[in-house]
Amino acid sequence: MDRTIRTIGLVYDLRDDYLAEGFTADQVAEFDTLDTINRLAGALGELGCEVDRVGNGRALCRRLVNGDRWDLVFPVAEGLAGRSREAQVPCLLEMYAQPYVFSDPLACAVTLDKSAAKRILRAEGLSTPRSTTVAREADLAATTLSYPLFAKPNAEGTGKGVDGASKIDTPEQLRRTCLRLLKQYAQPVLVEEYLPGREFTTAILGCGTDAQVLGTLEVRMRADSPHVDYSFEVKEKCEQFVDYLPVEPGPVRDDVEALALAAYRVLDCRDTGRVDIRLDSAGLPSFIEINPLPGLHPTHSDLPMIATQQGLTYPELLHRIVASAAARQGLTLPTPSRRDR
């Protein structure tokens, strides 16, 4: 039986589609621009495959029900609502026995719920700041964490809900910020002890014991950045406000990458992911969060920027990701990438 990948279904949430339906810019902040989808489709096509732009999860449902199938699906759809929204498309694909790239539904759900991911890593002995979740105002009275604190929605990405009020020094600030976030995002607020040190993001490729670190960048806010932390506004305008710096070889990079790889493996992520790490007051790395569905714009997103630093072109990065998914599912790529020739 020929198991060569000749067709790839590209599943995605397009910002413009949801804006046209009346959603706000904040609600669609995690979704992809048309430029990203065009770049993805072009690079996947360089693998020698026919790329079918399926669209969002609802479009995927219709296509699957109608009997459409692909040799492999490349799903970058984030989902629209709920703390398990990133698991919705993988669940559909597994229901129809459709091979796909990236992590399975459980990993996608657990990693989006930041508190759940931290509890798992803490149980495995990995370093992450002490934290609690605030689901209602009464929960604030039980908070025993040490100030300063940092508050953000428990199940959002792209820095949504993070701004100049996220770093908290007093109980009154904590109350105001949590009540605002509860109202705006209708979900619990993750409150954790603030990490004052340098911030890093590490890219991982592969699965299980074969997973390897691709590289790490330090994330440093410029002097004119509106916030000292990696907020939503800063991320959206990262070319203006952020320097992404290579990390010199040495103990700091080794420790950061070891923690990132351990977290990736413990949470059973697959094919690729990006882990955010920050140093504590003692200069030791601590886990912030993990993204098993990282942004893939070739110049705006962290993962491709790390690949570029490591000498990988954008098509070569996608080849590595697809090759990982193909290998674990017994599939074969039609042609090798230029890097492997």
Contact in structure between 14 and 37 (CB atoms under 8 Å): yes
**Edge-to-edge strand ranges of the sheet holding 285-291:** 242-246, 212-221, 199-207, 270-279, 285-291
Q: CA of 337: how far to CAs of 145, 192, 321, 340, in Å?
A: 50, 43, 12, 5
Instruction: Report pLDDT digits (tens) over 162-204.
Output: 998 999 999 999 999 999 999 999 999 999 999 999 999 999 9
Contact in structure between 285 and 257 (CB atoms under 8 Å): no
For the domain covering 199-312, report its CATH number.
Answer: 3.30.470.20
The reported pLDDT for the residue numbered 232 is 81
The reported pLDDT for the residue numbered 336 is 56
Does 341 have pLDDT greater than 60? Answer: no
Burial degree of 62 (CB within 10 A; 0-12, 13-18, 19+): exposed
Kindly report the number of other CB atoms within 10 A of residue 97's CB atom. Answer: 7
Distance CA 134, CA 306 (A): 34
The reported pLDDT for the residue numbered 340 is 44
The reported pLDDT for the residue numbered 200 is 98
Domain 7-102+328-335 has CATH 3.40.50.20: yes
Domains 130-193 and 199-312 share a fold: no
The reported pLDDT for the residue numbered 251 is 97
Does 260 have pLDDT greater than 90? Answer: yes
The H or E element that residue 198 is part of is none
The fraction of the chain above a pLDDT of 70, given in percent, is 98
> Over the chain, what is the mean pLDDT?
94
Give the residue extent of every domain in the chain: 7-102+328-335, 130-193, 199-312
Instruction: Report pLDDT digits (tens) over 106-161.
Output: 999 999 999 999 999 999 999 999 999 999 999 999 899 999 999 999 999 878 99
| Residues 6 or more apart in contact with residue 203 via CB below 8 angstroms | 213, 214, 215, 216, 272, 273, 274, 294, 302, 303, 306, 307
Contact in structure between 58 and 73 (CB atoms under 8 Å): no
pLDDT band with cut points at 50, 70 and 90 for residue 338: very low
Q: Which CATH number fits domain 130-193: 3.30.1490.20, 3.40.640.10, 3.40.190.80, 3.40.190.10?
A: 3.30.1490.20
pTM score: 0.93
Distance CA 153, CA 168 (A): 14
The reported pLDDT for the residue numbered 238 is 85
Kindly report the number of other CB atoms within 10 A of residue 335's CB atom. Answer: 13
Q: State the Cα torsion 291-15-57-48 to the nearest 10°.
A: -80
